[in-house]
Amino acid sequence: MLVAICTYNERENLPTLVEAIREELPAADLLIVDDNSPDGTGQWCDELAQREPWFTCLHRAGKLGLGSASWLALQSAVELNYDTIITMDADWSHPPAALTQMLAAGKDADVVIGSRYCPGGKIDGWPISRYLMSRTVNFATRLALGLPARDCSTAYRLYRVEALRKLDFTQLKATGYAYLEEILWQLSRQGATIAEVPITFSERRAGASKVTFSEALGKAKTLASLARRRVVGS
Residue 145 pLDDT: 86
H helices of the chain, where? 14-24, 41-51, 66-79, 99-105, 128-145, 161-164, 179-189, 213-232
- Alpha-carbon distance of 36 to 73, in angstroms, equals 16
- Over its C-alpha atoms, the chain yields an Rg (Å, rounded) of 17
Measuring CA to CA, which residue among 90, 71, 92, 79 is closest to residue 30?
90
Residue 47: pLDDT over 90: yes
Structural domains of the chain, count: 1
pLDDT digits (tens, 9 = 90+) for 18-35: 999 999 999 999 999 999
Residue 60: pLDDT over 80: yes
Residue 141 pLDDT: 85
User: For residue 85, what are the domain limits?
Assistant: 2-232
DSSP track, 129-176: HHHHHHHHHHHHHHHHHT---S--S---EEEEHHHHTT--GGG----S
Residue 77 pLDDT: 98
Residue 232: pLDDT over 80: no
Residue 175 pLDDT: 66
pLDDT digits (tens, 9 = 90+) for 209-227: 555 545 555 656 666 666 6
133: domain CATH number is 3.90.550.10
Neighbours of 19 (CB within 10 A): 10
Residues 6+ apart with CB under 8 A from 205: 12, 13, 91, 92
H or E segment to which residue 55 belongs: strand 55-59
Residue 177 pLDDT: 76
Average pLDDT, the chain: 89
Residue 67 pLDDT: 86
Measuring CA to CA, which residue among 65, 67, 70, 12 is closest to residue 35?
65
Neighbours of 127 (CB within 10 A): 8
- Alpha-carbon distance of 89 to 5, in angstroms, equals 6
- Alpha-carbon distance of 123 to 21, in angstroms, equals 21
Residue 187 pLDDT: 95
pTM of the model: 0.88
- Alpha-carbon distance of 102 to 174, in angstroms, equals 25
Measuring CA to CA, which residue among 121, 133, 2, 114 is closest to residue 56?
2
pLDDT digits (tens, 9 = 90+) for 84-129: 999 999 999 999 999 999 999 999 999 999 999 999 999 998 999 9
Residue 150: pLDDT over 70: yes
Residue 162: pLDDT over 70: yes
In the structure, what pLDDT confidence band is assigned to residue 65 with cuts at 50, 70 and 90?
confident
In the structure, what pLDDT confidence band is assigned to residue 173 with cuts at 50, 70 and 90?
confident
